[in-house]
Amino acid sequence: MTEVVRIDRGTDVLLVIDIQNDFCPGGALAVADGDAVVPVANDLIGRFANVVLTQDSHPEGHSSFASSHEGTEPFSTMEMSYGPQTLRPDHCVRDSSGAAFHAGLETGSADLIIRKGSDPAVDSYSAFYENDRTTPTGLAGYLGTRGFGRVVLVGLATDFCVHFTAMDARREGFGAVVVEDGCRAIDLAGSLDRAMTAMRDAGVIVSTGDALLT
């Protein structure tokens, strides 16, 4: 069920999750229809006083790349020191065109860019923690220091980086709103339904761009 949400420009932050070339059509790890989130994100960027962007930023040879492990294929699973890791095609390599934000995304008013996945040995889905679940990105400290109480999320992908970020926001004591029409999912073997159920169970509000009142 979509909820109407009134946004507080003083205490709410828009989190724009990984709207990068490699996650959009034509990219190395494209989400179907991923570029359709750009207009929704831009509309909200213009309506929020506080905006944070996240950016997947991997060094070459990152441990989450299948190409870094001889004899493995993309989307197979490997056990890492921090648990099972799905191996991906090389993507969002630091300073590459694939790592760049989508050209249509309005990035100029962002207050902060969180770059994640930069440790060559640890992947990162959440904007709050690396996948070892102990290494923080600094986002929680930034939000707390600035006195922000809630994050509103758009971006890619609903069932991975958006999901992990929303769940960590709740664990860190922040409110969280996912703008459903501003996200697109991978939806692998039911992953979207599982993510939406988990987020709602954790108290994440699911809304749409039109239902956000600013």
Residues labelled catalytic: 18, 116, 161
Sign of CA dihedral 163, 35, 177, 137: positive
Calpha distance 187→175 (Å, rounded): 25
| CA 114 distance to own-chain centroid | 10
Closest of 208, 157, 163 to residue 185, by C-alpha = 157
Residue 181 CB contacts under 8 Å (≥ 6 apart), including other chains: 40, 208, 209, 210
Which helix (DSSP H) or strand (DSSP E) does residue 139 occupy?
A: helix 139-146
Phi, psi of 176 (to 5 degrees): -145, 135
Q: Give the end-to-end CA distance of the chain in Å, rounded to a whole number.
A: 20
Which helix (DSSP H) or strand (DSSP E) does residue 13 occupy?
A: strand 12-17
Closest of 91, 103, 203 to residue 157, by C-alpha = 91
